[in-house]
Amino acid sequence: SPGEPQAPFFLPPPRWPVECEVIQDRIEHIEWVPPKPEPFCPPMGPEQALYTLGEEQGTVVYHSSPALQGSCFIHARVGGAPGPLSSPAAPLEGPQDTTLLFESRFESGNLQKAIKVGPYEYVLVLRPDLYTAKHTQWFYFRVQNTRQEPLYRFTIANMAKPKSLYGQGLRPLLYSQQDSQSRGIGWRRVGTDIHYCRGSAGEPALFRLSWTVRFPHDGDTCFFAACYPYTYSDLQRYLRALVADPVRSRYCTVQALCRSLAGNTVYLLTITSPGGTAGKRAVVASARVHPGESGGSWAMRGFLDFLLSAHADAQLLRRLFVFKVVPMLNPDGVVVGNSRCSLAGRDPNRAYGMELPGSFPGVWHLQAMVRRVLAEREVVLYCDFHGHSRKNNVFMYGCDAGGDGAGTWLRQRVFPLMLSKNAPDKFSFSSCKFQVQKSKEGTGRVSMWRLGVSHSYTLEVAFSGSTLGGRSSHFSVEDLKSLGRLLCDTLLDFCDPAPAKLQQCLVEADALLQRQMGREPGSGGSWSDVSPSELESSTSGSDSSVCDG
C-alpha cells in the first residue's frame, strides 16, 4: 500500500512479436526546448498532387517487412526475431556514394520501404499496423550518410487520412545526433515546401506527405518523426527513477495492472498521501491506448511530474484524492511502432464493451479496476490522454446525458471550460464536443461514464500546436508537459468547496449554449425540448472518424 517499502523494481526489456527484427542499438534522445516557439510552415496554397516518381522508376534502398506468420499475433520474445539480422538497406558502393542509409527496426520505429527516385529524392512507404492493412500515420525512422549541402525531398506515399494538419502548417520533426552531442539540441521542426494531397486513384485512397529539408551536417545520424517519440523503454526508465526515489515512492506505488498480448507489463500507479484513504475520492487517468499519439504520453508525463512534486498544490491533491494512473495502455503497439492498434489488429479504444480480456487485456483490466474503485469511493474524474492529427490546439470530448437537460449538460462543460481559462494559449473550449455517438460506445470515455463516472473525458492534444493567444506555433515538449500541470490546477478549481468558480462557469456555459442555439443569453428559454444532437454537429468526433467504421 502507499507509504510502505517496495521490493526491488525489475523492468524486463520489451517483448516483440517473433516476426519483428530488432537492431541492438540503444536509441535515446535528449529533451530540449527550443529558445523560441517554432512557427507553422507557411501554407503552400491549394493541395495538389505532386509528380513524384514511383518504385518502378527508382531503386529500392531499404525494405523491411516482417514475415507475418498468418494474419494474427502468435508469439513474442525479448529481442524479437531469433537468429542473425537481415540487411534491408542497400550497401554503399564507396565513400562517394551519397545514398542515405535508412533504418527503423527499433522501438516505435515505422518505415517499411525507401525508394531512391533521384540523387536526393526518396519515396517512403510506412508499414501498416501489424496484422492489419491500414492505419498508416505515425512515422519514426533513422537516416545516416547525410550531406549538408543538397536539398533533399522525402515523400511518404501511403498516409491513410484524407485530412491532416500537414495541410495547415504542421512540420515533421528532425533529430541530429551530432547537434545533440555537441550543442545540446534535440528534436526540432524542419521542412519546407510541405504538401499533403491525394496520391493514388484506387480504393482505399492513399495520401502523400512531401517535404524538403537540408541536413545540418555531413555524415550525421538523424531521425525523423511525426511527433516527439515516447517509447515503452522511456516509460520504464521514468518508473525506475520514481521507485528508486525515497521521497516520491512514499506516496506512489507501481504495480502491474496486467500483461499485454506480447507479455509486456501494463503499469498501474497509485498516488496518494500516506496514512490511509478513508473519505478520499478517486481520479483515474490513462494514456497511449493509441500508440501513434505520443503527445499524450508527454502530457501524462507532465501530469505525473507535478502530482509527484513537492508543490503545495500537489500535496493538497494527494491529501484529497487517490489517483489511479495507467500511463501506457497499449505497450505492444508502442513497441512495434503502430499508429492505432494493438497486436490484436484492432483499435483497443473501441473494445471496452467487448468483454474480451484475452484480446484486449489493457482496456479490460482498466475497466475492471475502475469498477472495483467505484465500489469503494466516488470517481470524480476520468481522463484519457490522446493526440489529434486533424485539429489544432488542445480540447476535450465529454459525455452528454441526454435525459437530465440543462443541469447535466452544463456540468459536463464546466471542467473543460475551467481548463480553457487556465490554459488560454493552448486549450480551445469551442473545439470541445460532448455528444455520445453510437460509434464511440466502445471508447474509454463513454464506457467509464456508463459505469458511473459522471465526468469522463478524452483529452485531445494536437500533433501540431496552438493558434490561440496570439500563437501560431508548434507545441514543444515543455508545452505538452505543462498540460499535465494545468490539468491538476483545474482539478483543484473543479473540486473547490467554495462554489464561486463553479457557479461562474455554469453561468458562462449556459450563455455559450444559448448563443449556440441562436438564443439570447438570459432569455430564460427552456432546455427540455433540446436534444444533445442539436447542440453540435453529428460529424464532429474523435480522430478516428475518417478511417474507422
Please tell me whether the peptide bond between 229 and the residue prior to it is cis, using omega within 30 degrees of 0.
Answer: no
User: SS3 letters for 327-359?
Assistant: CCCCHHHHHHCCCCCCCCCCCHHHCCCCCCCCC
Q: Which three cell numbers stand for residue 376?
A: 469503494
Q: Which three cell numbers stand for residue 514?
A: 444559448
Spatial distance between the Cα atoms of 229 and 62, rounded to a whole number of angstroms = 22
* Active-site residue, 460 included: yes
| 383: nearest Cα among 478, 295, 449 | 449
Spatial distance between the Cα atoms of 485 and 181, rounded to a whole number of angstroms = 30
Spatial distance between the Cα atoms of 377 and 279, rounded to a whole number of angstroms = 8
Active-site entry in 378, 460, 534, 536: 460
Which class for 111: exposed (0-12), middle (13-18), buried (19 or more C-beta within 10 A)? Answer: buried
Cα-Cα-Cα-Cα dihedral sign, residues 399, 400, 401, 406? positive
Spatial distance between the Cα atoms of 363 and 354, rounded to a whole number of angstroms = 10
Spatial distance between the Cα atoms of 524 and 487, rounded to a whole number of angstroms = 33
Q: Which three cell numbers stand for residue 331?
A: 505497450
Count, in order, helices (H) and strands (E) of the chain: 11, 22
Active-site amino acid positions? 460
